[in-house]
Amino acid sequence: MPSKTAKQARTMAGAAHNPAFAKKVGISPAVAKDFNRADAKTGILRKKKRLQGPGGAGGTGGGNV
């Protein structure tokens, strides 16, 4: 079952990769891993591409200072 929100997806990813965090938030690591696998298929946690500014490699777009 995929996560409903990005916040839920981040929480499940954290619980899937860190058993101590899973215990702290009360989520079974096995359930978190199931959610994380489903989220990987939907792409909910993929980073969005940033637009390049005039500076070249993204960031603030500033030039030489």
Q: pTM higher than 0.95, yes or no?
A: no
Q: Tens of pLDDT along the chain (65 residues)? A: 899 999 999 999 999 999 999 999 999 999 999 999 999 999 888 877 767 666 666 556 555 66
Domain range summary for the chain, segments of one domain joined by +: 6-42
Give the integer Cα–Cα distance in Å for 59 and 64: 13
Q: How far is CA 40 from CA 2, 5, 11, 19, 45, in A?
A: 9, 13, 14, 19, 7
Nearest residue to 53 via CA among 65, 40, 41, 63: 63
